[in-house]
Structure 1
Amino acid sequence: MNARKPFPIVALCLLAVFSLTAFGLYSAMFNELGYEMAARAGLSMDELDRVKTGFTISQVWGFILIPLTLRRVGTDSILMAALGFGLCSSIALAIGVENYALFAAIWLLNGLVVSTLLVVINLYLLDKLANKWLPAVISGTLIFSTLLPMGAYPWLMAQVLESFDLSAFYVALAWLFFCSLTIGLAFPLGRISIKPQEKSSLWFYSAMLITSALVIYLLMRGSYYNWLDSDFFVNLTLIAASLTLLTVFLLMKLTRQPTASMQLHRQLKANVFMYNAFLAGFAVIASTALFNSALKMVLQYNALNSGFAQLPAFYGMLIGMALSVAVYYFRRPLSDAIVPIGVLMILISVYLFSQLPSNVGPGSLLIPMLLRGFGVGLLNVSVTIAVLLYFHRDERIEGISNFYLFRTLGGLVGGAYFSRVMQTHSAQASGEVGTTLNGASTNFAHYEQLLNQVLLTQGHLPNSSLGMSQISSVVKLQATTLGLSNALLVFILSIFALAPVLIIGKKLVAKQAIDAQRPR
């Protein structure tokens, strides 16, 4: 009964806001502050990319291991340990770490911290709050963990860097963890009662960890090795495929064992939710990466202008979130039906964006950005609310962990796939554009004459090296534009290929529910 008193509930909500704000900052830093992080730590961008890969691997490991550790250690101890580690790592980064090994180790630890916080905070919210408040509270936490990092942080971080350096963000993280730790110590949340259940063997967890680490490394570092054009990458892919088959074999052997995860995944609806999470991660992360590539590589916006152009998407996310919560409260049977609408909004925004020329002004980006934001808010919030409220008390640990695991994997697959698509289509487009630059062509001669006139008007004497430099930049821009446009269209086709599986799964779940209600 004490858990339902007003002030402890307020303390829990504040703890959730501070912790998930830290999670959101961590998730955005590598993408938005990569150059500053590398410069401060004295690393190259390739070294920072390896650290980012390790951070993602440890984050996925956290989702895999957290059900096991929570059942053995307890929710309160794990939460306090995660907050304490987060505070120490933030202070160390704020002071300054220039040793590569130490910097990488800190970010490996941070990966475990953020995944632990995401799962444990949601467990406490579901355990302590009344059901009628959960949709509103869950959507509120998503603002800090997901919507702000995707929609507002690109502009906000660039704006902060205009006046402060990177240490301001590390200090902010330390303050957030300090506030969270203080609240947790002043108002102990207690330990969530967890029903003892059988877990898989350590051999299975070892296979899962090794396989996931290798697969994530291949997905995130594929472009560095030029994908399957590298013998090293091909050999690693074969090893990863073998380990994946071994893991699947072990999973098949465990299907009849009464472990907590196996009991969860025997439910058709739970598996549909996991696929829904994968699709949401794929659609959201892939579309975000493509839009960012368009803003920075094609439109050539700097970080501040690119972030400002994405602000309408954040407003659209808030509208989509509000609609998702309203539908859940007032038209609950329709809450599952709005998920395809969110996917459709993202598809429409991607199509509109693919039709824009490379010299488009910021005003033309408003509608695609609003539609994308609306779709992301609708999809993310409705899926998260439906999934978190579906699991019974004894299923929540595995259910929440697996949900975020599948969503993260979907985002990784989407990002890697479209990195490869961009690379392939840009190379093809470069060849096609290059065929028009034939010295014997009258069109090329006319273009060269116009270019020389432009150089003269700018006060430069035309020469071959300067002219070829200008032509090279034009070819690069056109190749990138064509490659990105094709990648956006491939994204639409990919969603159309993945969506029917989700629709069929939902139909089967509905049929199963109808059959269960029929008198026998």
Structure 2
Amino acid sequence: MSTVATVAPRRATPISAALLVAGIVLATLTEAIASTVLSLGRGDIIGDTYATPDEFAWLDIGYTSLKLIGFIAAAALIDRIEPRRLVIAATLVMGLACGLAAMTARLELLVALRIVQGFAGGVLLVGGQAMLFLAYPRSRQPILQALFAMGSVVAPATIAPALQGWLIDSQSWTWIFFSVVPLALVAAGLLLIADGPMPERTAPRRFDWIGFALIAVTLFCATYVLSQGSRWDWFEEPRILWLTVIGIAALLTFLGQQLLARGQGLIDVTLFGSEDFCFAFIVSFVAGAALFGSAFLIPAFAVSVLAFTPTDAGQLLLPSGALFIGALLIAAYLMQVRRVPPVATVPFGILLIMAAMWMLSGSTSDSGADDMMAAILLRGFGLGLLFLSITLIAFGQLDRRNRAAGIGLFNTGRQLGGLIGVAALQTLIDHGVVANGAVLGANLSAGQPAVVERLAATTAMLTAKGMDAAAAARAAAGLLGRAVTGQSTVIAFDTAFNAVALLFVIAAPLLVAIKIGLSRYAKARAARGSEAKAS
């Protein structure tokens, strides 16, 4: 998409280089906090804004859909604005929008501010990562991309939930938004001081407004359907059905329009001429589903089954963040110092994530943080090995002309994969709770000795505590029903953990086959090119 031909980096001092990297990582932390604010603060925000669940949903839909649109638009903005200035502007806009969100309880204003936050977050993520590739040579990218991943991937999955849980329990949800403001100011200050890459500007390509409108409609429909479909039992709700139809129609129209644009459309189609980018783009969907899906499952299980507080649920993933960071640094060392190819760590990452999800599938209502910690740590280490590898595979061979567009598409794939994964797991859990409850309830007839004994023991215990016999009998039946529901929920979550593991069992051979197919296609195309030159 971009028409930046070459880049002439300034001769930055080591201090200036460190300031640039620190500023970019801090900027990504602002997005990490803003993107996950609704995960633990839902109940508090609904209470303070007097919003219905349908109204509250727009806070998430507005942010996520505009974040995806920001991913796509970022390349065109980088084409027209110096990357450092763009990231500074996006970071300050994020800080301002979060500061205003902390000072209002008006739902309409909060939705508007979430839309601004989402677009700013998408732009600063793409701009920050593109700036690292522009400012530093390929040989230094492993460690730089590992540092970037700490803010863009590790923080939303581990650090941000822990911070938010503590703030909700000790202060209020508004402090989550307030915490973004100083981070944004410090990040912008560091980026202002640091020397950034100076692209040699050329005339930007005409912006494809038609293509942008079509992909914006597609991404909005996809976000709404995937985030709200499970609440409405999917296509049983007409609005979900119609938005799905509109989204598919807009996507097909967009793809046709891009083909007819002959290289002048919104998407730089030359990206898909790279075998590595095509493979990593496909993997990004699977990796996104694993990252966001497991990050959704573990705190949800802790809160709904183990009755953890928001602070405890947030801190549950915190130790895995340390292993995630450790795996990123180990992988960066292997690739930058030992020259290990990025693809070499992908199988180990997949196996570790599969093992972690299989271990979590044995959790019960009596499990605690200690019982789950080994699996959670394995998950963090596996994700670290996987994400750095696919990042370097995706962007390592792209040139400066289309790298920003590639980063935007890759992030879009990862985010959509996460939406698909969470939606599928939520639906699996909802249906599983109902189905498991029906099966368990069918085996609890009133005349069974075990049931009679359980009800009698519970009734006697309640009677001994001062409750009259009739009320105690009713309460005993209610407690038995709650036990059945609780066990149904545990089984549903265990099935969901297994589903994430099975995702890789199914996806791994398919990805290998795709990689082999792409390699053969690339070799055949290269051979045809050589024959054409020879003739």
Matched residue SS, 2:330 = helix
**Per-residue Cα deviation, 1:165-194 (whole angstroms, up to 9, x for no partner):** 334333321111222333344456365335
Q: How does 1:37-56 map to 2 (within 5 A)?
A: 37-56=45-64
Inter-CA distance 40–17: structure 2 relative to 1 (3 Å threshold): farther
State the distance in 1 between where 2:322 and 2:342 align: 21
Structure 1 segment 364-375 matched on structure 2, within 5 A: 364-375=371-382
Contact 1:90 1:171 in 2 (8 A): yes
Q: Which residue of 1 aligns with 2:359?
A: 352
The more displaced of 379-388 and 105-114 is 379-388
Q: Which moved more, 1:469-478 or 1:439-448?
A: 439-448
Q: Over residues 322-352 of structure 1, what are the superposed CA-to-partner deviations in whole Å (9 max), with x where a residue is unaligned?
A: 2211221244344202112212211111111
Equivalent position to 1:67, from 75, 78, 87: 75
Which residue of the partner structure matches residue 249 of structure 1? 256
Distance 2:354 2:519 in 1: 26
Deviation at 1:38, TM superposition (A): 3.4
Distance in 2 separating the partners of 1:176 and 1:397:
25
Number of residue-to-residue matches in the alignment: 519
> How far apart are the structure 2 equivalents of 1:235 and 1:160?
39
- The answer to whether the 8 A contact 2:159-2:318 is kept is yes
User: Once superposed, what is the RMSD of the aligned Cα atoms?
Assistant: 2.6
Q: One-letter code of the match for 2:461?
A: V
1:20 corresponds to 2:28: yes
Matches within 5 A, 1:196-211: 198=205, 201-211=208-218
Amino acid at match of 1:490: A
Report the CA distance shift for 1:310/1:20 in structure 2 as closer, same or farther (over 3 A): same
Tell me how far 1:428 sits from its aligned partner: 0.8
Amino acid at match of 1:127: L
Equivalent residues of 2:296, 2:422 under 8 A apart: yes
Do the aligned partners of 1:436 and 1:444 also contact (CA within 8 Å) in 2?
Answer: no
- Aligned partner letter, 2:226: L
Evaluate the alpha carbon distance shift between residue 273 and residue 20 of structure 1 in structure 2; reply closer, same or farther with a 3 A threshold: same
Q: Which runs of 5+ in 2 are unaligned?
A: 1-8
Letter in 2 for 1:170: F
For residues 178-197 of structure 1, the aligned pairs below 5 Å read: 178-187=185-194, 189=196, 191-193=198-200
1:58, distance to aligned residue in structure 2 (A): 0.5
2:124 — aligned with what?
117
CA distances 1:411-444 after superposition (whole Å, capped 9, x unpaired): 1111111111112222111111111232233332
Q: State the 1:447 CA deviation.
A: 2.0
Q: Relative to structure 1, is the Cα distance of residues 457 and 347 closer, same or farther in structure 2, using a 3 angstrom cutoff? A: farther
Aligned residue type for 2:451: F
Matching residue of 1:2:
10
> Is the CA contact 1:4–1:128 (under 8 Å) kept in the aligned structure 2?
no
1:93-172 correspondence runs (5 A): 93-94=101-102, 96-172=103-179
User: 2:95 aligns to what?
Assistant: 87
Q: Which moved more, 1:291-300 or 1:338-347?
A: 291-300
Instruction: State the secondary structure of the residue aligned to 1:305.
Output: helix
Per-residue Cα deviation, 1:464-490 (whole angstroms, up to 9, x for no partner): 442233123112111111212222223
Which of 18, 27, 39 is equivalent to 1:31? 39
1:432 aligns with 2:421: no
Match of 2:454 among 440, 447, 462: 447
Distance 2:368 2:452 in 1: 30
What is the distance in 1 between the residues matched to 2:268 and 2:25? 29
Query: Residue 215 of structure 1 corresponds to which residue in structure 2?
Result: 222
For residues 369-384 of structure 1, the aligned pairs below 5 Å read 369-384=376-391
CA distance in 2, matches of 1:258, 1:381: 30
- Using the aligned pairs only, state the percent identity: 20
Match of 2:516 in 1: 507
Q: Which moved more, 1:240-249 or 1:261-270?
A: 240-249
Q: Name the CA shift for 1:283/1:440 in 2 (closer, same or farther; >3 Å).
A: same
8 Å Cα contact 1:349/1:372 also seen in 2: yes
Say which is worse superposed, 267-276 or 501-510, in terms of deviation.
Answer: 501-510
Cα distance between partner residues in 2 of 1:6 and 1:60:
34
Find the residue that maps to 2:308 and give its secondary structure.
coil
CA contact (8 A) 2:63 2:118 kept: yes
Cross-structure match for 1:475: 484
The verdict on how the C-alpha distance between 1:432 and 1:290 changes in structure 2, with shifts beyond 3 A counting, is same
- Asked if 1 retains the 8 angstrom alpha-carbon contact of 2:140 and 2:336, the reply is no
Q: Could you tell me which of 422, 441, 447 is aligned with 1:415? A: 422
Q: Report the CA distance between 1:363 and its aligned residue.
A: 2.1
TM-score, normalised to structure 1, is 0.91
Where structure 1 has 5 or more consecutive residues not aligned to the other structure, the ranges are: none
Amino acid at match of 2:359: L
Q: 280-289 or 507-516: which moved more?
A: 507-516
Task: Say which is worse superposed, 53-62 or 80-89, in terms of deviation.
Answer: 80-89
What does residue 278 of structure 1 align with?
285
Distance of 2:458 and 2:201 partners within structure 1: 72
Return the alpha-carbon distance in structure 2 between the equivalents of residues 474 and 198 of structure 1. Answer: 63
d(CA) in 2 for partners of 1:191, 1:101: 40
Q: Which moved more, 1:237-246 or 1:171-180?
A: 237-246
Q: 1:319: how far off?
A: 2.8
Q: TM-score, normalised by structure 2?
A: 0.89
Taking a change above 3 Å as real, the CA distance of residues 51 and 156 of structure 1, as seen in their structure-2 partners, is closer
1:396 is displaced (CA, Å) by 1.1
What residue in structure 2 maps to residue 236 of structure 1? 243
Give the 3-state SS of the residue equivalent to 1:337 in structure 2: helix
Q: C-alpha displacement at 1:509, in angstroms? A: 4.4
